[in-house]
Structure 1
Amino acid sequence: MAFEELLEQVGSLGRYDILQTVLILFYVLTASIHNLLDNFTAAIPAHRCWVQLLDNGTVPGNDTGILSQDDLLRISIPLDSTMKPEKCRRFIHPQWQLLHLNETFSNSNEPDIEPCLDGWVYDQSYFPSTIVTEWDLVCDYQSMKSVVQFLYMTGMLVGTLVCSPLSDRFGRKVMVKWCLLLVAISGTCTAFASSFFIYCSLRFLAGFSSMVILANSRMLAIEWTRIQSRDSLLTLINSIHGIGITVLGGLAFIFRKWRTLPLVVAAPCFLFFLSSRWLVESARWFIATNKPDQGLKALRKVAQINGIKNSEETLNVEVVRSTMQEELQAAQTKTTLWDLFRNTNMRKRICLLFVVSLGYTIPLYGLTFNIQHLGNNIFLYQVLFGAICFLAQIFSLLVLNHVSRRVSQILFLILEGLFILVHPFLPEEIQALRVALACVAVGFGTAAINSATIHITELIPTVLRARTLGLVTMVSRIGAALAPLLMTLRIFSTTIPWIIYGVIPIIACFAVFCLPETKNLPLIDNLQDVNNENKFTRKVKKNDSSIKITKF
């Protein structure tokens, strides 16, 4: 609770809090938009083989236009099991007899077919161009879309591994600043990619920087926030993800050429990079890493922005040292990542968090990455998913205000899993119901993420928060990378991926049940606080009534 006293002296909910929150919301917004960009740049339009009769305009004996396009399609492209034209095969020779189905033919052999040797013809009613149409990533190469999404998620994973230790060493602000520049450059260069390999490499870099922006922006926000406002602030930040999904759907509807959309999304990041100079580094991180002088400067700067007079007299080194005496004493001992696993409580806690992170990541990304499986109008579905995500964040905050962290997560995860499990067994004819159930599942998944994010942040000490969150995020990125790859199991059965997506969050509920409760507890700053968890719990229970009074 010591740092809370310092926050009171610099002025809570002042001008700086508003400025920082606005900036961070914009940073999180742009990172969220990049997450699902491949839904549109790598969209797979309807397609069929290129055939000379249809696409070269030279049909022998059809000078008078007797044969329609449907007739020409019928004699050139075989039908699949759903009686629709094949996407990846064509007849070797035109099957003229198919124009007279009522007649009986002596030759009942199956016509000879071949793959699309001359390329494909794509439906451009939704997208004039995508990377799929530009580089013919269909048929034998149709899994390349999943590969792109996998590489983006792998970039997020690598970004977590590389930058989490750097964040605990150099600070949160510097990581946000330079990753904003990196995502701006990589996003801009994506619009000019000349090959599929270059496109994948740039998307990897975008994933690398986006994850660092999301993680460090969130940490910077909560480390400047009091207990009473923490839930609301984290919910507000998490809700931006839903707004980002909606904004992306609108931008993709306006800018449908795949080279234009990344450019539009990346351009504002250059301005965000310049605006990051107005952020103030986390004073809590300075103090937890035994840098009280720099922490004091950060506190005074925030007090000045908030209009607190005489802050230099009331805030000095002696005040900081006396207020944060235990934290500074603990900071004398250098803490490494391995200390987390030597500590019995933290080792158990981290292993459980790994399971929880997989539980909320795989099903949600499985749904949002495969939005095109719901129908053709992915612009509408994208906006709909975004609106549902935003409303789900507000709903989760209301639930969190009345129930514990564990109960809320278990409730959301079970409901998400159940709605996903129902989805694959519904007939395709009732598409409206399928879309509705998918939206509800996305909503509960988003609510689960919001509840889990708050819970995880409260379970990790400040001195190793970035690195520990990095480990948890690394596991969640592995889950996110696996989510699109699980959809390749559709070649065995269309229901297998959805069953996996539905079972995983239900299994994660058991891990949530084993985690300690943290509602209304202060953020822990070091490993000693983890060991003294019971003492903190008893202390807060005694003061629980006063906390509830001041919370609102």
Structure 2
Amino acid sequence: MMCSGLATETVTMTEFGDFISAVGKFGLYQKLLVLFLSLPLLLNPFQMIGQVFMVVDVPHHCNTSWIRAVGPNLTEEEQLNLTLPRDADGAYEQCSMYSPVDWDLDSIVAYGLNATEKCNNGWVYPAAQPPSLLTEFDLVCDRKDLTDISQSVYMVGLLLGSIIFGTLSDRIGRRPVFLISILLQGLFGVGLAFVPDFYVYMAFRCVTGASVSGILITDLSLATEWVGASYRTKAVVISHCFAAIGQMLLAGLSYGIRNWRLLEIAGSAPMFALFFYIWVIPESARWLVTKGRIEEAKKVLQKAASINKRTIPPGLLEQLKPETKTKPGSVLDLFRKKHLRKVTLIMLCTWFADSLVYYGLSLNVTSFGLDIYMTQLVFGIVELPGRLSCIFLLQWFGRKKSQAVLLLLSGLMCLIITAIPEDQHVVITVLATIGKFMATASFSTSYVYSAELFPTVIRQTGVGLCSMSARVSGIVTPLIGLLTQYHRAIPMAIFGSVPVVMGLLCFLLPETCGVDLADNTGAATTQLSSSTLENLSKRDTASME
């Protein structure tokens, strides 16, 4: 599902690679294609994290206007003194009030009120506060948990989208699914700004999450299936960098627009500007060949060659034939072989941990104590070097060490945060930023590493299963945040301990840097000696330069 583009190799992949070489492995055509495919990712962070800035906590208290019937001349302060209990710090309780009584005002003042109850008539918020999800749908007190539940519903949408659109992209093509996903994200994203009820809002969020997942799947497929094998990591990282830029845009957008409905429109409406993609986004030539649509594949390949100022030899084009059918693998194959079972279980846990620490830090931007907009901007800034560093880390240190160490360090940052006093906001934010850098790099590493660990006949199934594990983690992450009601350190301790354990398990994986991809499930991935790995890394670095 996710990373399906990295997983569509067949027994004739080498032959099709000749056509990509003839067209140009990463020419102007591919560069423009990656650019167009990456533009929608600028808005994906808004859909994923934007809600955080719509439910910022504000002062509130129960609506006690009932007393105005017997004391119309009471000042606001007198009204609150008579109708609201105070907490241990002397502040008015936010979620309880004194029970209304049928007394006159003099009796209320003389005897006072003692019995308390929950807010039964709504809440009162600061008059100057711009409309937000919190104030409009009363996401406070007993309804406060709906905020985290809504984030989990969005993650459910991501999971459903990876299942639905992953299958559709293999059946009807990458291009139509990509265009449909853009349309759905635009329609339901803008539609969120007009919902009358929070439960309708959550339903729309679920559909929006599914559309985001569809974009991510087809974006990755189209980008990697159109470039040469040696440029796939670069194509993936470029797309991820646009998501990082989107994180920074989110900070500025949410800072400038405080009305949540206008913010929804501003973060979703630009999708409609991408409708020209109907004329510029091509279908995957590789996918067309697998479906036997040879003439269509020839046309798109010739167009790509023309833009790259290359010419495909006529004799080579005549050799373009439908790929030989191979027996597809199944999920069971991942668990039948001992070496595949180990790889599958560890990578499932790795993707789960990646998602847990990444979203755990991203969705808790309001809890670090500093200005949330500045913190979000910093989070976006550190994602860029986090993504780009993978290109070099994977070559210099190999896949296994990079994956293990990055996951370990991201978890350690979260664990250290639990030991920092709550009032040390700067220290906490710095540690969270370092953790976000490591988590981002770890997530990007997992995309590349997983595609190399699974054999060709089962690669799409294996990577898709890992993606589903990450989506399950995404669903659980906001719910873990609810544990703050027991102790503020519990969620961050979970976000830290899981990646540390999973990072240690990654040392049990085989190294895949410079190793030919396995085509079948018969043998484990060959390990390289450290000297061989070093020589390959130097060679790859030199080729990039």
For the structure 1 residues 373 and 546, does the alpha-carbon distance in structure 2 shift closer, same or farther, using more than 3 Å as the test?
closer
Give the equivalent residue in structure 2 for 1:97. Answer: none
CA distance in 1: counterparts of 2:68 and 2:493, whole angstroms? 42
Give the equivalent residue in structure 2 for 1:237. Answer: 239
Give the equivalent residue in structure 1 for 2:8. Answer: none
User: 1:75 offset after TM fit, Å?
Assistant: 5.7
| Partner secondary structure for residue 316 of structure 1 | helix
Is residue 2:512 matched to residue 1:499? no
Structure 1 contact 293–317 (Cα < 8 Å) conserved: no
TM-score by length of 2: 0.85
For the structure 1 residues 196 and 59, does the alpha-carbon distance in structure 2 shift closer, same or farther, using more than 3 Å as the test?
same
User: 1:6 offset after TM fit, Å?
Assistant: 2.8
Which amino acid in 2 is paired with 1:422?
A: I
For the structure 1 residues 88 and 22, does the alpha-carbon distance in structure 2 shift closer, same or farther, using more than 3 Å as the test?
same
Structure 1 contact 132–138 (Cα < 8 Å) conserved: yes
Give the equivalent residue in structure 1 for 2:432. Answer: 438
Structure 1 contact 417–505 (Cα < 8 Å) conserved: yes
For the structure 1 residues 463 and 259, does the alpha-carbon distance in structure 2 shift closer, same or farther, using more than 3 Å as the test?
farther
For the structure 1 residues 470 and 543, does the alpha-carbon distance in structure 2 shift closer, same or farther, using more than 3 Å as the test?
closer
CA distance in 1: counterparts of 2:358 and 2:423, whole angstroms? 24
Give the equivalent residue in structure 1 for 2:542. Answer: 549
CA distance in 2: counterparts of 1:485 and 1:60, whole angstroms? 45
Give the equivalent residue in structure 1 for 2:4. Answer: none
Deviations 1:83-118 (A, max 9, x none): 543221234589xxxxxxxxxxxx9x9954332233
| Partner secondary structure for residue 364 of structure 1 | helix
Give the equivalent residue in structure 2 for 1:284. Answer: 286
For the structure 1 residues 292 and 176, does the alpha-carbon distance in structure 2 shift closer, same or farther, using more than 3 Å as the test?
same
Deviations 1:118-160 (A, max 9, x none): 32122466x5112221121211111000111010000001111
Which amino acid in 1 is paired with 2:317?
A: N
User: 1:80 offset after TM fit, Å?
Assistant: 3.1
Structure 1 contact 52–58 (Cα < 8 Å) conserved: no
Give the equivalent residue in structure 2 for 1:488. Answer: 482
For the structure 1 residues 57 and 25, does the alpha-carbon distance in structure 2 shift closer, same or farther, using more than 3 Å as the test?
farther
Deviations 1:515-550 (A, max 9, x none): 3322244666x536x748439999x97977654432
Structure 2 contact 404–506 (Cα < 8 Å) conserved: yes
CA distance in 2: counterparts of 1:162 and 1:220, whole angstroms? 17
CA distance in 2: counterparts of 1:56 and 1:259, whole angstroms? 35
CA distance in 2: counterparts of 1:314 and 1:349, whole angstroms? 42
Structure 2 residue runs without a partner (length 5+): 1-12, 102-110
Give the equivalent residue in structure 1 for 2:50. Answer: 37
Which residues in structure 2 correspond to 1:303-342 (within 5 Å)?
A: 303-309=305-311, 311=312, 313-318=314-319, 320=320, 328-329=323-324, 331-336=325-330, 338-341=332-335
For the structure 1 residues 519 and 275, does the alpha-carbon distance in structure 2 shift closer, same or farther, using more than 3 Å as the test?
same
Give the equivalent residue in structure 2 for 1:103. Answer: none
Give the equivalent residue in structure 1 for 2:139. Answer: 137
RMSD of equivalent CA atoms = 3.4
User: 1:49 offset after TM fit, Å?
Assistant: 2.0
User: 1:205 offset after TM fit, Å?
Assistant: 0.2
For the structure 1 residues 314 and 429, does the alpha-carbon distance in structure 2 shift closer, same or farther, using more than 3 Å as the test?
same
Is residue 2:121 matched to residue 1:118? yes
Give the equivalent residue in structure 1 for 2:198. Answer: 196
Give the equivalent residue in structure 1 for 2:449. Answer: 455
Structure 2 contact 406–438 (Cα < 8 Å) conserved: yes
For the structure 1 residues 518 and 535, does the alpha-carbon distance in structure 2 shift closer, same or farther, using more than 3 Å as the test?
closer
CA distance in 1: counterparts of 2:361 and 2:226, whole angstroms? 34
Which amino acid in 2 is paired with 1:313?
A: P
CA distance in 1: counterparts of 2:297 and 2:88, whole angstroms? 68
CA distance in 2: counterparts of 1:233 and 1:450, whole angstroms? 12
> What is the percent sequence identity of the aligned residues?
26
| Partner residue of 1:165 out of 150, 164, 167 | 167
| Partner residue of 1:404 out of 395, 398, 401 | 398
TM-score by length of 1: 0.84
User: 1:186 offset after TM fit, Å?
Assistant: 0.9
Which amino acid in 1 is paired with 2:542?
A: I
CA distance in 2: counterparts of 1:82 and 1:317, whole angstroms? 82
Structure 2 contact 453–525 (Cα < 8 Å) conserved: no
For the structure 1 residues 51 and 484, does the alpha-carbon distance in structure 2 shift closer, same or farther, using more than 3 Å as the test?
same
Deviations 1:32-52 (A, max 9, x none): 321112112344433222334
Which amino acid in 2 is paired with 1:534?
A: T
User: 1:304 offset after TM fit, Å?
Assistant: 2.1
User: 1:501 offset after TM fit, Å?
Assistant: 0.8
| Partner residue of 2:93 out of 82, 86, 90 | 86
Is residue 2:156 matched to residue 1:154? yes
Q: How many residues matched?
A: 522
Which amino acid in 1 is paired with 2:478?
A: P
For the structure 1 residues 124 and 391, does the alpha-carbon distance in structure 2 shift closer, same or farther, using more than 3 Å as the test?
farther
| Partner secondary structure for residue 194 of structure 2 | coil
Deviates more, 1:474-483 or 1:337-346: 337-346
CA distance in 2: counterparts of 1:440 and 1:545, whole angstroms? 28
Which amino acid in 2 is paired with 1:49?
A: C
Which residues in structure 2 correspond to 1:513-532 (within 5 Å)?
A: 513-521=507-515, 526-527=519-520, 531=523
For the structure 1 residues 444 and 462, does the alpha-carbon distance in structure 2 shift closer, same or farther, using more than 3 Å as the test?
same
User: 1:317 offset after TM fit, Å?
Assistant: 3.2
Structure 1 contact 489–496 (Cα < 8 Å) conserved: yes
| Partner residue of 2:303 out of 297, 301, 304 | 301
Structure 1 contact 168–466 (Cα < 8 Å) conserved: no
For the structure 1 residues 93 and 198, does the alpha-carbon distance in structure 2 shift closer, same or farther, using more than 3 Å as the test?
closer
Which residues in structure 2 correspond to 1:207-226 (within 5 Å)?
A: 207-226=209-228
CA distance in 1: counterparts of 2:318 and 2:350, whole angstroms? 41
CA distance in 1: counterparts of 2:155 and 2:147, whole angstroms? 13
